[in-house]
Amino acid sequence: MLRKTTTRLGKPADVSIDSFGCSIDSLYKNQTLRGAGLTVLRKGSHKGLLQQVSTEASNRGFVIGVSTLAGHTRRIFHEHHATTHVFEQDSIYIRSLGEAYKADLQNSFDFLLFEVSPAALETIAEEADLQAVSVLNTMTGHSDPVLANLARALIPALENPEQASRLFIDQLTAAIGTHVVQQYGNRTAGSEPRRRKLSRTQENVAKAIILDNLHGNVSISELAKACNLSRGYFIHAFRETTGMTPYQWLLRERIARARMLLLETDAAISEVAISCGFSDQSHFTRVFVNVVGTTPGTWRRNA
């Protein structure tokens, strides 16, 4: 949106402002993805000078921010006082978008942000067999290395969304949502998740769909719908049934098909990589080494 501001000469100027009050011109990172119940964003600025952000109250829900850099300073203005916070690397903040916000930002920042609505929080809690949650506890500068590591795993998908696996994005954002609800949901203690498994028919249906989409261009929601299950129930049941997440199972099947092609054809390794759903030979080699313990070329020669 455009917001009127004033230049040093007193002349009005139109400045493009994002939904969190930042000047878009000051951002060197401004990326967005949609995940399982979450909107994922990355906002980064090299500006070392003081800049002020402000947003009006809205019904958008909550935002969870993960700092990838150390040294960012933020002075937040409350109704009758102000507080100053220095962010360490991998520290987080949670704030309600239902409250007006005003803060002075100083020094560079690079935040991974997760915006979630109250309705989505309730869905995440229900699918994880937790007590209902529609509110998150607010905090600033809290250390959460688990959430930080989960968030960082989304950076390649934000950088190259056209190459990202939908199955991977859905699976990872579902894990992030569950972690946030478990750790920061404003609720009484909940029960442990029930053990759930897929029926043999559901398991076969899900695996067949995954195999028909080796590039990962199928979502968790689509797999769950085919099995007549909720997204969250399907994720837990697939893992209980197979011992793997859907994405892990997909990678295993990609490698199994790659082994067959390496053994039975003279196709170049780069051709095998593409035909088995990998983005390129480098990606294929990394996964192959992790699963098999050696490179595709070495495995082919020894086989």
Domain ranges of the chain: 16-184, 200-243, 248-302
Angle at 92 between CA 80 and CA 62, to 5 degrees: 70
- Widest distance between CA atoms in the chain: 75
- CATH pick for 200-243 out of 1.10.10, 1.10.3210, 1.10.357, 1.10.8: 1.10.10
pTM for the full predicted model: 0.74
Stretch 50-61: mean pLDDT: 89
Nearest by Cα to 63 from 165, 127, 151 = 151
For residue 151, count CB atoms less than 10 angstroms from its CB and return exposed for 0-12, middle for 13-18, buried for 19 or more: buried
Domains 200-243 and 248-302 share a fold: yes
Confidence of residue 231 (pLDDT cuts 50, 70, 90): confident
Q: At what angle do helices 246-264 and 166-184 cross, to 10 degrees?
A: 150
Query: CA distances (Å), 157 to each of 36, 98, 166, 191, in order?
Result: 14, 29, 9, 34
Q: Which of 9-23, 36-50, 186-200, 281-295 has the highest mean pLDDT?
A: 281-295
Question: Alpha-carbon distance 62 to 139, whole Å?
Answer: 12
CA Rg value for the chain: 23
Question: Alpha-carbon distance 74 to 287, whole Å?
Answer: 40
Q: Assess contact for 177 and 136: CB atoms under 8 A.
A: no
As its CATH architecture, domain 248-302 has Orthogonal Bundle (1.10)
For residue 168, the Cα-to-chain-centroid distance in whole angstroms is 9
pLDDT > 90 in the chain, percent? 57
- Say which CATH topology domain 16-184 has: Jelly Rolls (2.60.120)
